[in-house]
Each structure stands twice: as structure tokens, then as C-alpha cells.
Amino acid sequence: MNAAAERVVAIDGPGGVGKTTVSRGVARALGYQSLDTGAFYRAAALLMRFHRVDPEDEAAVLAVLSGADLDYRDGAMLVEGVDVSTAIRSESITAASSRLARLPGLRLVLVRRQRAWVAARGHRAVVEGRDIGTVVFPDARVKIYLDAPPAVRARRRTGETSTTFREVATQLGRRDRLDSTRATSPLAPAQDAVAIDTRALTADQVIARVLELCRGRGIDPANRPPEGSYRARD
């Protein structure tokens, strides 16, 4: 049991459910930092594309990843100091990140970096992803699993890029399948997670509900984070 890690607020759920908006809102209210762990998988996919590494070749993937400088600052993903926040949102990187996320060795490396990022901030962090409550921070006192039907998530995502609703729905379906059927750390609610169906709720309503749970479990907005910066490197 890691006592400091209990302060972490873990938010899991499928793509397009609103995890980032909710995590940022909750973090702001708590004086916490928010970490989008999906951005690490996306950055890894971008790196492999850049280095022309076959994503099925795990040894080659790990060789590139182990020396890479990945950082997450103020909501931006940096690779070797370059802000790649826009580049990692392309359709092809989105699809590649889900495939790459199946590799157990890659997950170990990224999870280690995510834990270090959070530890460097005194564990005052809202961390979003697919395996936060189950694997990355199983000791978190507040674990949330956000969910909404695929059509609702696809509608929310449509308009973020130039793709149509039908295309977005197809891609989300494919990612849902990959994320929930992979052998290592599949997308699944932790046993002790509180599930919130967001289909009929606004982001503010979801944030309010999460904050209520935080207060009930002793995580209070009065806790202010220490200043600090950290570079994730193995």
C-alpha cells in the first residue's frame, strides 16, 4: 500500500467519454495537476512512426522508447522538447496508439514514467486513462469509471476533426474492441470504481459529482499542490 498514492484521483473510461475535460476540471478545483496518460501512448506511436519502427517488433519499439525524452506539461505532450499535442491527435496516430498499447513491455515503460510524473507532484494528480484504477494507481482512494454508449461518444467526437459521424463511430468501435480485449491491462472498471454514466450529464455535472466523491473520501479542494517540475526519462 502506497499511502501517498491514495491521494490520486483515477479516471478511466473508453475513448470519447470526456475524461480529459472532466480530469482538468476536477484538477483545477482540487489544486491538483491532471495527467492524460493516453498522450503517452500517442507520443510513443508518433515516435515509432518517425523512426520507422515496426510496431509489432517489441524489441525495436523498446529500444527507441527507452532513450526517448517524453514530458507532459500544462496539458501539452512534449517529445524531445517539441510540443506534439496536435500531431498525436491525427487519425492514423490514434489508430496506431491503440495497437501499440497492446505491447506489455511498452506498457511497463510508460506506466513507470506516468507513476514518476505523479510522484514528482506529491501524488496530487488527477490521472486519466484505461488502466489507472486497476494497474497504475490501484491504491487511489477515488476511482471513477466514466461511460456512455458508443453513439453518444461518437457524436461528441464528431466535429473535433474533419471526419463524419459514421467514420468517428467506426474508429471508436475499433478502438473500444482493441482497448477492452487486449491481454495486458485491458480497459475495465476497477472493482472499487464508481461508475458514472455521462450520457445525460454536462461536463460540469460530472465534475461536480466527482468532486463530491473526492470530498467524501477526504480529498479536499483545500489541498494545494507544491510547485515542481519533472522530466520523465528512464
Which SS3 state, helix, strand or coil, does residue 135 take? Answer: helix
The three cell numbers locating residue 34: 491532471
Q: Which CB atom, from 25 or from 129, has the smaller least distance to ligand DC? A: 129
Q: Which CB atom, from 71 or from 179, has the smaller least distance to ligand DC? A: 179
Closest distance of CB 89 from ligand DC, Å: 8
Closest distance of CB 84 from ligand DC, Å: 13
Hunting for cell 520507422 — which residue is that? 52
Hunting for cell 473500444 — which residue is that? 176
Closest distance of CB 98 from ligand DC, Å: 3
Closest distance of CB 222 from ligand DC, Å: 29
Q: What is the DSSP letter of 133?
A: I
Q: Applying CB under 6 A, which residues contact ligand DC?
A: 15, 37-38, 41-42, 97-98, 101, 129-131, 175, 179
Q: Which residues have C-beta within 8 Å of that of residue 232, sequence separation ≥ 6? A: 69, 70, 71, 72, 113, 114, 116, 117
Q: Which CB atom, from 92 or from 218, has the smaller least distance to ligand DC? A: 92
Q: Which CB atom, from 71 or from 131, has the smaller least distance to ligand DC? A: 131
Q: Which CB atom, from 13 or from 32, has the smaller least distance to ligand DC? A: 13
Q: What is the DSSP string of 169-215?
A: HHHHHHHHHHHHH-SSS-S---TTPEEEE-TT--HHHHHHHHHHHHH
Q: What is the DSSP letter of 130?
A: S
Q: Which CB atom, from 173 or from 221, has the smaller least distance to ligand DC? A: 173
Closest distance of CB 132 from ligand DC, Å: 6
Q: Which residues have C-beta within 8 Å of that of residue 181, sequence separation ≥ 6? A: none
Closest distance of CB 213 from ligand DC, Å: 20
